[in-house]
Amino acid sequence: MLHPPMPLETPVPLVTVTVRKPTPPARRRAILDAVHDALVASGVPATDRFQRVLELDPADFVFDPRYPDLATDRGDDFVLVEILWSVGRSVKVKRQLLTGLLAGLAAHDIDGEHVMVVFKETAWENWSFGGGRILHA
């Protein structure tokens, strides 16, 4: 079932950033801020900020160093960004978000080649922000 284009005021992202221990708090915050700034630039309201960081032991965060085509190995600085949001974003919007995110990360000396981003989309009726209210059912 296709949904109409989502209005800008529609709540959308839940961001999960996964990094290896130990990642300094300033680096974690820089990543979260860069993700949020890129989301806002792509049309997400500035007040729609729901983010979490998972900081895992190296044994619990395993990844291939070069998959699929990296020129340099991922190391302990690897960042996995998962963006769960409502369906309806075009590839153009996702590319715009990625461009803004990589620019924001580069401003904090975070190598974009070692950042993996996964977009996960869910139907609007799968969101309840409080009180058991489903906003788009």
Distance, C-alpha 107 to centroid of its chain: 17
pLDDT of residue 120: 96
Contact of 12 with 46, CB cutoff 8 Å: no
> From the CA atom positions of the chain, what is the Rg in Å?
16
Reported pTM: 0.88
Number of domains in the chain: 1
Q: Residue 44 is part of a domain; what is its CATH number?
A: 3.30.429.10
Confirm whether 61 is domain-assigned.
yes
User: Residue 113 corresponds to which amino acid?
Assistant: E
Q: What is the domain range of residue 50? A: 15-125
The mean pLDDT values, 10 residues at a time, for the chain of 137 residues are 44 90 97 97 93 98 95 95 92 96 97 96 83 78
